[in-house]
Structure 1
Amino acid sequence: MLSNFLPFVYGLSVFILLILAARVMLNGFFSGQVPFEAQNSFSKKTSNDRTGLVTVHPELLDKDGSITDEDLLTVRFSKDTDHPQSSEKPSE
């Protein structure tokens, strides 16, 4: 009895997995066909686009909320051949 039922379960599971795989591939294929605004349900005309705005990381702020004047730790990797560039201008 079990030997007749097992191939049916196996075939059904393979069929379901093929349908799910086809759905995922079709979603990927048709993703380029629809405009981005129509895909993204969160996009609105009044979006919070931050393009061009500067983001200051909280680690750079002191307790008063100003950018700190402390020296910062930098890391260089062994294959980095560029010389470090200081953000300070040389005093002449």
Structure 2
Amino acid sequence: MFGSIFPFLYVLVVIGLLWKAFQVMAKGFFAFQEFDNQQIPLKKDRTGQFTIHPELLNEQGKITDEELLTVRFSNDLDPPKPTQPSSE
């Protein structure tokens, strides 16, 4: 008896999951269309610009001269840069 019900339940679950997937994709599609229709000023292209982490800046907003802590891992095959002391 279970052998005859299993294919029916399987098909029912697959159809339900496909229906749910189409609902989710439709929500995303319509949300994208709404977003596309809004007049949002686009940000300027940042190609070639650098972002400095705020913790690297001192009180005056300049890059700090303090000695920074660096972490090296034992499997790191790259040799340390000349300004970095060896971790050994």
Give the alignment's TM-score, normalised by structure 2.
0.52
Partner of 1:20: 20
User: What are the superposed Cα offsets for residues 3-55 of structure 1, whole Å, 9 maximum, x if unpaired?
Assistant: xxxxxxx79x733322123x28x78xxxxxxxxxx8x738x784322111011
Unaligned stretches of 5+ residues in structure 1: 1-9, 28-37
Equivalences, count:
67
Pick the aligned partner of 1:58 from 44, 54, 58. Answer: 54
Tell me, in whole angstroms, the C-alpha distance in 2 between the residues paired with 1:78 and 1:86: 18
Tell me, in whole angstroms, the C-alpha distance in 2 between the residues paired with 1:45 and 1:65: 28
Q: How does 1:1-92 map to 2 (within 5 A)?
A: 14=13, 15-21=15-21, 23=22, 41=36, 46-87=42-83
**Aligned pair in 2 of structure 1 residues 87, 53: CA closer, same or farther (>3 Å)?**
farther
Q: After the TM superposition, list the runs of 4 or more consecutive aligned residues in structure 1 that deviate by more than 6 angstroms.
A: none
For residue 86 of structure 1, report the CA deviation from its aligned partner: 3.3
Unaligned stretches of 5+ residues in structure 2: 1-8, 27-32
User: What is the aligned-residue identity percentage?
Assistant: 45
